[in-house]
Amino acid sequence: MAGMLSYFAHAIPDFARSEQWVRRQLYLGGNVSTQSRRPNAWNAFVHQQLNDINESMFFLLGSLVGL
């Protein structure tokens, strides 16, 4: 790991990035700038509808198979 950091330390001036930025990208997987996502009403509605469809299909198939 130390070899990789020394390589990046030399590459930083070439790409105009700070050492702190490079360390964040390496250790946090590049997810520094992404915001956390929140649930919304539409996604909750679609999720519930799909769950209802899946449950009805399960019961339908279960009655056909005899479960």
* pLDDT band with cut points at 50, 70 and 90 for residue 59: confident
Structure tokens at 47: 């999720």
The Cα 45–Cα 49 span in angstroms is: 6
Give the model confidence (pLDDT) of 46-55 as tens digits: 999 999 998 8
Helix axes 19-28, 2-15, angle to 10 degrees: 130
* Spans of all domains in the chain: 1-35, 37-67
Q: Provide CB contacts within 8 A for 22, sequence distance 6+.
A: 8, 12
pLDDT value of residue 58: 76
Q: Is 30's pLDDT higher than 60?
A: no
State the DSSP code for 34: P
Interval 36-64 mean pLDDT: 85
